[in-house]
């Protein structure tokens, strides 16, 4: 089979690899029909993720058809259409029982990290029963498959780490700092809770325009619209926001969230941070503020599939570009240079 393999910093390409086989009774092998690229994949290519060894097949998102299953798999059979979760869950360890399969002792984020991933014609999925989701059959509801790819990672990430951790309630004010794919998915999922204000802050006017289409009530072009904090205080009658969602992953934006948060508010960190950030307790200690962190557990994915099937989330808007798998390197170029290509999520289709 053809697979996209990481060969070390800035080196990757399609190579021929043996088709994966079921090696444990709880495994399934999935023939991919669609995959996509994540910001994490770009970090890997920069050499920022030391757990990824040279020779690893990249990717942790996608959907396809069950090709083979182990004898211990009960929920899936040959030919079933499935969505692959970025988080592999055994369903039985300490962390899985506590609802945190992102920390599963024999799973978590392993695809395209410590085991071969989804940017290949076939992928082996361990703990298949608790790590795959059925695609709603076309006879029930025809859900766009590009939108379903967003179930693999960015929709549950935005919902669990941003919207739910941010404790958005009806009538709340929300600031989303960063309008990349996950920040925009946070704009979508925040609206499930009926906030009255959704303020989106970014440096890219094209992404802000998308945020507005997806339901942002206010957009602030950082660097062009004057002082961001003053602008947010104007919009919120001087109170600051009830929820600030950090969806960038740098110190500057985490510190900005501390300036935007109102009394009783929650800062929900979604961004992946590679460095330290200052915590201004001298300003926050008496403001009844909570700060949350989380790695996506993908425990909301079955519910998100139902929301998509019911037409309650416009996730298709996040899929801006399509490529054939043979052009996957072009897909990486478009995704990596989003400022020029205006790419959000790039869908990669297999023959």
Task: Based on the shown chain and the rule CB under 5 A, indicate whether residue 90 belongs to the binding site for Zn ion.
Answer: yes
Question: Whole-angstrom Cα distance, residue 167 to residue 290?
Answer: 10
Q: Pick from 4, 28, 5: which is nearest to 123 by CA?
A: 28
- Closest to 135 measured CA to CA, from 314, 301, 300, 345: 301
**How deeply is 301 buried, as exposed, middle or buried, from its count of CB atoms within 10 A (0-12, 13-18, 19+)?**
buried
Residue (124 or 345) nearer to Zn ion, CB: 345
CB of 39 to Zn ion, least distance (A): 7
Least Å from the CB of residue 93 to Zn ion? 3
Minimum distance from CB of 287 to Zn ion (Å)? Answer: 33
CB of 185 to Zn ion, least distance (A): 11
Positions in 102-121 near Zn ion (CB under 5 A): 104
- Report how far apart, in Å, the C-alpha atoms of 63 and of each of 188, 278, 298, 332, 348 are: 22, 39, 15, 19, 11
Q: Does residue 188 touch Zn ion according to CB under 5 A?
A: no
CB 293 within 8 A of CB 277: no
Closest to Zn ion by CB, 258 or 301: 301
Binding of Zn ion by 149 (CB under 5 A): no
Tell me which stretch binds Zn ion (CB under 5 A): 27-35, 51-59, 68-76, 84-92: 84-92
Nearest to 30 by CA among 152, 154, 181, 182: 152
Rounded to 10 degrees, the C-alpha dihedral 124/122/319/77 comes to -70
Q: Which is nearer to Zn ion, 84 or 201 (CB)?
A: 84
Among 153, 160, 246, 297, which residue interacts with Zn ion (rule: CB under 5 A)?
A: 153
Task: Select from 196, 295, 305 the least CA-distant residue to 243.
Answer: 196
Looking at beta carbons only, is 63 or 104 nearer to Zn ion?
Answer: 104
CB 29 within 8 A of CB 125: yes
Stretch of residues binding Zn ion (CB under 5 A), selected from 20-28, 93-101, 175-183, 317-325: 93-101
Exactly one of 22, 29, 38, 344 binds Zn ion (CB under 5 A); that residue is 38
Q: Of 35 and 236, which CB lies nearer to Zn ion in the complex structure? A: 35
C-alpha 248/C-alpha 88 separation (Å) is: 24
Among 66, 69, 96, 197, binds Zn ion (CB under 5 A): 96
DSSP single-letter state for residue 158 = I
Question: Does residue 161 interact with Zn ion by CB under 5 A?
Answer: no
> If binding is defined by CB under 5 A, does position 93 make contact with Zn ion?
yes
Contacts to Zn ion by CB under 5 A: 38, 90, 93, 96, 104, 153
């Amino acid at each position: 089979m053809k697979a996209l393999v990481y060969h070390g910093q800035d080196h990757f390409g399609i190579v021929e690899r043996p088709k994966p086989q079921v090696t444990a009774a709880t495994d399934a092998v999935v023939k991919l029909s669609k995959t996509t690229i994540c910001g994490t994949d770009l970090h890997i290519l920069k050499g920022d993720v030391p757990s990824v060894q040279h020779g690893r097949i990249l990717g942790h998102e996608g959907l396809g058809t069950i090709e083979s299953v182990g004898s211990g798999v009960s929920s899936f059979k040959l030919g079933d259409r499935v969505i692959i979760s970025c988080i592999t869950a055994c369903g039985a360890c300490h962390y899985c029982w506590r609802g945190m399969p992102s920390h599963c002792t024999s799973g978590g984020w392993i695809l395209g990290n410590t085991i071969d991933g989804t940017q290949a014609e076939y992928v082996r999925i361990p703990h298949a029963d608790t790590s795959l989701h059925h695609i709603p059959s076309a006879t029930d509801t025809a859900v766009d498959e590009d939108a379903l790819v967003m179930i693999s990672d960015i929709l549950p990430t935005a919902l669990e780490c941003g919207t739910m951790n941010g404790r958005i309630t009806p009538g709340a004010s929300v600031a989303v700092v960063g309008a990349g794919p996950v920040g925009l998915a946070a704009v979508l999922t925040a609206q499930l809770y009926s906030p009255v204000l959704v303020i989106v802050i970014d440096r890219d006017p094209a992404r802000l325009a998308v945020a507005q289409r997806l339901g942002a009530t206010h957009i602030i072009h950082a660097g062009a619209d004057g002082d961001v904090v003053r602008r947010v205080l104007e919009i919120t009658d001087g109170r600051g926001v009830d929820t600030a969602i950090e969806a960038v992953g740098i110190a500057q934006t985490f510190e900005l969230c501390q300036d935007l948060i109102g009394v009783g508010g929650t800062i929900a960190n979604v961004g992946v941070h590679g460095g330290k950030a200052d915590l201004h307790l001298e300003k926050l200690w008496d403001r009844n503020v909570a700060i949350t962190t989380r790695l996506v557990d993908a425990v909301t994915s079955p519910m998100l599939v139902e929301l998509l099937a019911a037409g309650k989330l416009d996730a298709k808007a996040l899929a801006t570009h399509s490529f054939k798998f043979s052009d996957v390197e072009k897909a990486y170029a478009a995704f990596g240079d989003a400022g020029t290509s205006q790419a959000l999520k790039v869908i990669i289709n297999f023959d």
